[in-house]
Each structure stands twice: as structure tokens, then as C-alpha cells.
Chains A and B, each alone.
Chain A
């Protein structure tokens, strides 16, 4: 059982990292619009995050240094600061969107306007970060997040034409009536959502929080190889659900409620209850991850004591950053800025900043001063290098595509 619980860091990271509010919506939107023809973008992202999260986890385990510590040391104080500002901005915007996302999930369950839920959600997120032990936090939310597996049952219950779904996924083409730039804009959105930087900030800091040692390297692998593909599969399942239910009726998905509807149609009230619980757990996990990551990045850049493994009094500046970020996020969410749109843009912006995060990880994972004999194998270097090229291309293409397609309109 203990071994089983050991992989909850990966599950929590993956559930909260893949299926945050933006990704739930992006997957639902693209499924309805492009059926499965963008599944490759998710698969591409999953392989990338597996490679780099494994690396970041290994570096954190062997050298006890999380990602942003390395960023500062390797790219220097100035460029590191530019990176910090960009990463923090993206993390903060995501946090605001996730807080709104939790509120939206609560709205689905209560029919009480989500704006009224936002302050409570902000407080709960802070309370968990302030009071709950890291291990408890990840076990509870990682496991509740598994409620989302109900989507797979729902898909099976709907008796879809599997061969047609598979054909759409394996023979990607730009759906008729959609422009090629729009298609690639959504490809980047899915890819960016899968490789969101806060996942590695959180995962590598989590490895330090849990005091992983060299003999936990297997645990690192198990977490990465189980957690992230699971997140990817759930994303694809949601995409398939909306492809089966909405695409034939030409319904465009704009809201979280629509993302829950196919499961409700397939499995009734139980299914609906489970998927709302799943959405709640996923967005809440993402809020925890981004809230903590806001504190992690800034503290790790400046060398302040961070983490939940010490009493809050011992990590005062870290907790102050988390608290201030949460207050700011709640205020931003309360402006009634569309949380779905906010995350979509944030995900795409994050895609533009991806090389900044992943490049230092690749460099340090090759440095024997830190890694000893645990440096990258030639195989992982080969794949990681290919991804570095992809990341640079994506980051260069993002902003022009965003302008050209009016953000996927």
C-alpha cells in the first residue's frame, strides 16, 4: 500500500497538471471541433513531459536541487530574473484561472454563481497549503482526482465507433471548415497545456519536499511513467467524449458544464456526480500546484527557505509569497474575467516560455558535478534534444499564430 501511495506525487502532478481548468476546456473544445485529429499534440506533449519531468525529478533527487535553483545558477542572475518574471506571470495567471475553475465546478454542483465561491476557494487553497502536510495533500487530491476515470467508463458506455475514432486520431487532417493556422493554434494550446512549466516546478520541488534519496530513483520513474501518461489518457478520453457527443451535432464547447454533459448522458446522476467531483479535485490540485509553484520559483531564485517540510515560521518569505499570490489571484478572478479564456491564453503564453524552463534542466542533467553517474543516457539525450528543437519552434510560432487566428476564433 505504501508503495502504491508512493506514486501519488506523479498522479497529483499529472491530474492537476494535465486536467486543469484550461486543459479540460481545451480538450473538450478541440474534441468537438476537430474530433480526434489533434490527439497527436497530446501524445507529443506527454512524451515530452515524461522525458523532462523524469530528468527534473532525477536532478532533484540526486542533487536536492529543484528546477528554479538550477535556472538561476546556470543561466545567471539577469537572464534568470527575466525567466523568473515570465514564469511567475504565467504561474500567477494560471492560479487565478484555477481558483475560478474550482468555483465553476462548485457552481455546477450548487447552481450558486461561481463568483460567490471564489473567496472561499481562495481561502481553502491557502488553508491546505498552510496546514496540510505535503504527503497528505498529494494522497488526498491525487486519489480524489482519480474520479475522472469515470470519463473512460462513460466513453465505453456510449458505444462509440472505435475504428472511426482511431482513424481520426491516426490520420490527422485539418477538419473541413477550419483554417490550418487555427488547427495549429489548438495543437500548440494542447501541447503547451501538457508541458506546462509549473508541472516541473512542482514535481521537482515535491521530490525535495518528500526528501527523495538516490534509492528513490525508481519511485521517480514510476511516478513519471504512470502519472503523466494517465493524465494524457484522461485528456484524450475527454476529447473523445466530446468528439462522439458534440461533433456530429456541430456543437461548439464554451463552458465547463458542456464538458460534463457527455458523462451525464452516458452514466446518469452517478456519472455526473463523479465527474463534477473529479473536476473539483483536478482544478483544486492545479490551484495548489500553481499556488505553491509561485512560492517555489521566487524563493528558489533568491535562495530563501521554501517548502512545506518546515514550519511556516521557518519559511516566512515563501509563505508570504504564496499568500500574496493567492490574494492577487482571487482579486483577478473576481473581476469576472472569463476563466476559460484566461487559461487558454495562459497555456499558449506558457508555450512561448517553454525553452526557458526546460533548457537548464537538460544542461544540468548532463553535468557529472551534480549528477555523478546518474547523468542522462545517450538515449534520453537524443530524445530531449529533439524536444528542445520542438520547444524552440513552438515558442517562436506561438505569438504569430495567436495573432493570425485571433486566438483560435
Chain B
């Protein structure tokens, strides 16, 4: 499975309701050891939301302070993003992913980078 197959996929919840699409994939470094690198990056969850260019551009992160006009234009929708833990992902199709939960419970209590 490639990262590009996940990104941009439409995500629906248990009831077939559309949640949004995959903006990014959250990784955590606690997998089995790989070569000289160390612990592999494990796929922890999918960052899903209605979409904001601010996320992809990295403007939405709180540590990025400006410029004010770009934050205003692109960063306001960060709050609506949902992190779906990998174990709640039921099925991965062609640019379509279904999750085994409804939006509210999907939101895992995962830490963010």
C-alpha cells in the first residue's frame, strides 16, 4: 500500500455518511526495527476532514504565527479535522475508505505531532 493511495481518499463512517477526505497520515515511531534507522514508523491514524489548504501548506499549525492574512484565509478550519485511528479503518478501496465508527467516536484520543 502506498501513501498516495490513502491521501485524498473519501472517508465514510459506519452509517455510510461522508466524513471528509484524507489530508494526511499520522505516523508514530514504535514499529519493528528497520536496518540502521531504528524503530519503523507505524501508521497510527488518518487525518480526515472537510479540507483545508492550510493543513497541507503547514500554515494551520499553532507554532506558525503568521502572516496574519494567510492564517485568516486558510487556517480557520483546523478544528474540524478528525483523527481516525488505524484500527477503526474497515475497508480501503480505490480512493475510498470506510471507517468502523461514527464521526464522534472515530475521533481517537491520539496525540498529535
Interface residues of A (CB under 8 A from B): 74-76, 362-363, 366-369, 375-376, 378, 381-382, 384-385, 388-389
Contact = CB atoms under 8 A, between A and B. Distances in A.
Contacts of A368: 63-64
B22 to A, nearest CB: 14
B67 A384 contact: yes
27 contacts: A74-B56, A74-B57, A74-B58, A75-B57, A76-B56, A362-B70, A363-B57, A363-B58, A363-B59, A366-B59, A366-B64, A366-B65, A366-B66, A366-B67, A367-B58, A367-B64, A368-B64, A369-B58, A369-B63, A375-B66, A376-B66, A378-B66, A381-B66, A384-B67, A385-B69, A388-B69, A389-B69
Interface in B19-59: 56-59
Nearest to A380: B67
Nearest to A368: B63
Contacts of A389: 69
Contacts of A369: 58, 63
Contacts of B66: 366, 375-376, 378, 381
Contacts of B68: 381, 385
A376 B70 CA distance: 13
A381 B57 contact: no
Contacts of A382: 67
A336 B64 CA distance: 51
B25 to A, nearest CB: 15
Contact of A362 (B56, B63, B67): B67
A362 B70 CA distance: 10
B70 A375 contact: no
A376 B68 CA distance: 12
Contacts of B56: 74, 76
A375 B67 CA distance: 10
A268 to B, nearest CB: 52
Q: Kindly name the residue among A76, A366, A389 whose own CB sees the greatest number of chain B CB atoms within 10 A.
A: A366
B53 to A, nearest CB: 9
Nearest to B56: A76
A138 to B, nearest CB: 32
A363 B70 contact: yes
Contacts of B69: 385, 388-389
A384 B67 CA distance: 8
A384 B68 CA distance: 11
A363 B57 CA distance: 7
Interface string B49-91: 0000000111100011111111000000000000000000000
Nearest to B67: A381
B42 to A, nearest CB: 22
A393 B70 CA distance: 16
A385 B65 contact: no
A69 to B, nearest CB: 15
Contacts of B65: 366, 375
A362 B56 CA distance: 15
A385 B69 CA distance: 7
Contacts of B70: 362-363, 366, 385
